Structure formats: structure tokens, C-alpha cells
Amino acid sequence: MLSAMLGEAWHAMGANRMRTALTMLGMVIGVGSVVLMMAIGQGAQYAVAQTISTMGSNLYIVISGSTSTGGVRSGGGGGPTLTVADAEAIATLDGVLNVAPVHQGTQQIVHGPNNWSSTVVGTTPPYLEARAWTITDGYPFGESDVRSATRVALIGQTAATNLFGAEDPLGQTIRIRQSPFLVIGVLGKKGQNLDGRDQDDTVIIPLTTAQRKVFGNPFPGAVRLIMVQANSPESMPAVETSVTALLRQRHRLRDGQDNDFFLRNLAAAADSAAETTRVMSVLLGAIASVSLLVGGIGIMNIMLVSVTERTREIGIRLAIGARRKDILSQFLLEALMISVAGCLIGLVLGLGGALLVNSLTNMAIVVSGAAVLVAFGVAAGIGIFFGYYPAHRAAALDPIEALRHQ
């Protein structure tokens, strides 16, 4: 019985190929765009999650502002308000895992005939821990290097490639602002940060060396930012409060006076970036779903036309013994076949499109089995939902009325 009905549905679809193909096209476009959009959306989510995982967890950065009183800037030209001593004080607070004062800027770096502009980060050893940054080759510098301002450098992958090519940078000398630095370690790859900047285009040196030899700090002991890592996500609010209180006290800020620093929660920034991509992904899926809906309506439309056209056929079938449920399943099966076939083609095209986008734009693409299953289920559901009404109309026909048709 089922095989006979499948054969008939196949026949009916073949009887009007152009129309079947066009109806199917609606489903093809619908499913194809859902699959493609979900692949792009989930790809974006994946990319952001990847980036966030390279950032380091539970991080705050404290950025120095300029001292100001009632809107009037004070203190020689608005120098940095944070100091290395502030960083040391923060390190003693409860819930704080790592603290690293940072002085960074873009510098031209020279090795032999090559030169390259990189971000030079002057900091202390806890920086690497806070950022969960590994050394793939060589070793990191220690506290003693910071104390004695040695000229050693850790080099990021991008900077290394541009300065050394295929050469091994370890043990070589690079020049920053005329000063020679010994490359003692190569940093692990991190990729882009949330702002899209290449994190591997970096050279990390001891803070003291940076201040004395590279940036020529006019405010000894002062830093532009301090990186603070809490020991857990739960302790972050407490750390935020205690760091703020500590710095206000150390900077002798009276009640009502604005902070002379900014505390930026990187985890929150990461969350909002993740949320943004999640919303984008849902939105893309929703827009694509509309085309799936339109495809479903197309099926309903064509099935209604088909039922009207085939009224006489339905009458004949009823006259020779078809039950109402036979007629119902016949038309339902036809709708289902169109939608499922359209879905399969759409799936293939959607996946092909995703691969194409991936190869053309380097955009991350994630195709989950769940997304494919959902698209398939939805298509089958649409076939049944939009096929049911026409099929029901067909099954409800009166035999003699149907036979008199035309």
C-alpha cells in the first residue's frame, strides 16, 4: 500500500515537473538559507568564544585617568595616575590571583635588515599567567629581570615571522629604539582579540626596561594600566569593589570626587561580545526561517491548486473504493515528498554555500548536526502542516460532486 502510494506521489510530482520544481525551489531556498545562516551565526559565535578563551579569564584592567578636581585638570599635563606601588598593593587584596602593571605602545622593531612595527608590552611575569599566555620555545623572564631592567624580550608569532622569517628567533637580538634585546622566548599563538587586533603582533619585555629604554617614562613608577585577575568569576564583584576602594584611598580621593582611573571588566566585555554574536545568530536564523515559511506557503498553494485540478480524479478514486484517509494520505504524502526533497537539496546547497563562504572570506563556519536535524524536522513539519489543509479538502470531497467536476 505505502509503496504504491509513494509511487503514485512520485508520478504526480513528475506529471508537472516545472511546477513541482518551482514549489520545491521555495523549500530549497528556505532550508538552504537556514542552514547557511545558522552555519555563519554559529561560526561567529565559535570565533568569539575562541577569542575570549585567548583573552584570559576573570580579568579586569585598571586604566589610569587624569587627575581632575571639579572638571579642572591638575597635575603636570595629566600624567598617569597609577603606579607600580598601586599594583603591588592590589596584589595583596583577597580574591586577587595575578596583578601586572603594563606599559605598552607601538614601536618599530629592527632585526638585521628587517624592521617591523609591533606592540611592545612592558610588564611583569604575572602578565603571562593572567593572560594564560604560553611560551612555545625558550623561557619567560622573571622578577629579577624586572628588578635589574635586563634587555630581554618574548616575541609573538606574527612579529617573529615578520622579523625572522623561517629563522629561529631564539637567542637572536632585536633592536627597539636603538637598544638591543635578547630574544629569550617565543610566545604561543593567540590570534585576534575582540577588537580584531592581532595579539601575536607583540613583543613583551620587562616593565622597567620598557620604561627606561623604550618609552622614556617622564613619570617614574607610574603606569598607564594594571591588569588584575580575580581567582574566580564569583569573586569578581568583590575584587572590583575592593580595588576601587583601595585605589581611591591610595589616591586620596575625597567622597564625591570622581575616580582618577577606570576599571574595565574584560569578562563583561567578552560576555557582551558573545551575546551580540548570539543575537546576530538568532536573527540570521529567524530571517532565514521566514523564507522557509514562504516555501511552506508555496507548497500549500500548489497543493490547493492540485486538489482543485484533480477533483475528478479524487471522485474516481472514491468511486472505486478509496477511503477518505487514503485520499488524505495521498495528498499529504505528495506535500511531504516535495518538502523533504526540497529540504535535502536545500541542505546540500546550504552546506555548499557555507563551505564557499568559508573558503572565500575566511569566516568561521560551524555546521552542527543539530542544525541539520532541525532544518530537516522543520521541513517535514512544514510539509505536513501546509499539506494538511489541502489534503483535508481533498478527502472531504463528496464522491458524486467530485465526479461531476468539469
Which member of 320, 360, 362, 369 binds other proteins (CB under 8 A)? Answer: 320
* One of 317, 346, 367, 390 touching other proteins (CB under 8 A): 317
DSSP secondary structure of 337-372: HHHHHHHHHHHHHHHHHHHHHHHHH-------HHHH
- 326 interacts with other proteins by CB under 8 A: yes
> Which residue, 100 or 395, is less far from other proteins as judged by CB?
395
* Count of residues touching other proteins (by CB under 8 A): 24
Asked if residue 354 lies in contact with residue 372, where contact means CB atoms within 8 angstroms, the answer is no
Q: What is the smallest separation between the CB atom of 14 and other proteins, expressed in angstroms?
A: 9
Q: Is 92 in the site for other proteins (CB under 8 A)?
A: no
CA pair distance 209, 216, nearest whole angstrom: 9
Applying CB under 8 A, which part among 34-42, 98-106, 214-222, 314-322 lies near other proteins?
314-322
Candidates 25, 89, 322, 384; binder of other proteins (CB under 8 A) is: 322
Cell of 79: 600624567
CA 226, CA 60: separation in Å to the nearest integer?
A: 8
Nearer to other proteins among residue 287 and residue 319 (C-beta): 319
Pairwise CA distance, residues 387 & 391, whole Å: 6
Nearer residue to other proteins within complex by CB, 35 or 327 = 327
CB of residue 349 to other proteins, shortest distance in Å = 30
DSSP state of 198: B
Contact assessment for residue 133 and residue 163, using Cβ atoms and an 8 Å cutoff: no
| Range in contact with other proteins (rule: CB under 8 A) among 5-13, 70-78, 129-137, 295-303 | 5-13
Regarding 379 and contact with other proteins (CB under 8 A), the answer is no
The residue with cell 517535514 is 380
| Residue 319 in the binding site for other proteins (CB under 8 A) | yes
For the chain, the 3-state helix, strand and coil shares in percent, each to the nearest 5, are 55, 20, 25
Q: Which is nearer to other proteins, 5 or 293 (CB)?
A: 5
Q: Which stretch binds other proteins (CB under 8 A): 85-93, 120-128, 173-181, 396-404?
A: 396-404
Alpha carbon distances (Å) from 60 to 126, 229, 235, 244: 14, 6, 12, 11
Q: Is position 17 an interface residue for other proteins (rule: CB under 8 A)?
A: no
